[in-house]
Amino acid sequence: MLAAALVACSPAVVDAPPGPDAATSDASTGANGDGSTTSATCASYAYARCSKLQGCSPTAVLYRYGSTGECEAIYSGLCENSRNAPSTGATAATETACSNALSPNAVPPWACSDFLYNENIPAACATPTGSLANGAPCGVAQQCQSGYCALPLYAACGTCAPVPAAGSSCAELICPPSLTCSNQVCVAFAQEGASCGASQPCSDGLACVVANGAATGTCTQGVTTANAPCVFTGAGCDFYDGLACNAQTGLCEQAMLAAAGQACGTVGAQSVSCIDGLCDRGACVAFLLPGDPCDTAAGASCITDARCIVGVGPDAAADGGAVGTCQLNGASLCR
């Protein structure tokens, strides 16, 4: 059975929406021309993002960030970095428009089934494009006319470039958000009912179910109803609905998440994931936060939306160096 220290996927508490005095006293509090500040509008945007995530799946908040407070800190930091980048297309207006699209009253609403997997993004939340031409140095996609900054895997700065198509190499560069890196090739996520395998991952939230002896499988949605029958070795239950398949009863039950240092993987009769961390050899290892030292060759991973940055220039990691710090994109100005 699960240890008492395991934490149930109970709803997290969403922080109160930031008020007009939410701006901090750092360099990002310059006026936007409408009386607002970068910090205040970014705090409102981060609150909208994380409130939406909490409303769609409290489990996703715990799994990705550990708490809504950390979620808001990450999104606020990303927002401020994109706003402070030279030649950026990110403005108070673009953030406000996206915040409105994230509202429960938005028409049409951004469906949770899409929001959780960052699919069918509303126009108001699409990446705003900047004024930098291809070949110009960049740290965030919002600086580029193309809407894509080609970032080396472990470097803070890259160059504006055309958005790579599926099939492009990701051996040295980060794929655009619409694609994922699989076997050093950028590929589109396979959707429900599509073929999947080692080189073709399913979209987040789907399981690749492989029949006995088959070389490939089919992307399958997990069961979404508590106490409904499930197959432990198949698609199981919908994790983001807070459910997991009990191997003994064959029914969907409340999913359990483990904290850092606690047991994960198959524990008792359930598959246990980690709160804000990865399962490494049967124990949860917490994600590193922005500013924490990291190692690209060994050690824990950076928290969702952060990367281990070994240096600033495109060739920063070319000397074989592996030790750096976890950073959000745009944390370093790239000129």
Q: Which residue has the higher pLDDT, 252 or 199?
A: 252
- pLDDT tens figures, 59-80: 999 999 999 999 999 999 999 9
Distances (CA, A) of 199 to 58, 195, 215: 30, 11, 11
Q: Is the peptide bond before 109 cis (omega within 30 degrees of 0)?
A: no
- The answer, yes or no, to whether residue 14 has pLDDT greater than 60, is no
Give the pLDDT band (50/70/90) at residue 300: confident
Query: Per this entry, what is the length of the chain?
Result: 335
Give the pLDDT band (50/70/90) at residue 198: confident
- pLDDT tens figures, 265-282: 999 999 999 999 999 999
Decide: residue 248, CB within 10 A, 0-12 exposed, 13-18 middle, 19+ buried: exposed
Distance CA 326, CA 321 (A): 15
Per the rule left: phi > 0, alpha: psi between -120 and 50, beta: everything else, 297 is alpha
- The answer, yes or no, to whether residue 30 has pLDDT greater than 90, is no
Per the rule left: phi > 0, alpha: psi between -120 and 50, beta: everything else, 127 is beta
- pLDDT tens figures, 120-166: 999 999 999 999 999 999 999 999 999 999 999 999 999 999 999 99
Across the chain, mean pLDDT equals 87
pLDDT given at position 314: 46
pLDDT given at position 35: 42
Give the pLDDT band (50/70/90) at residue 321: low
Q: What is the mean pLDDT of residues 198-210?
A: 89
Decide: residue 114, CB within 10 A, 0-12 exposed, 13-18 middle, 19+ buried: middle
pLDDT given at position 32: 55
Q: What is the mean pLDDT of residues 284-290?
A: 96
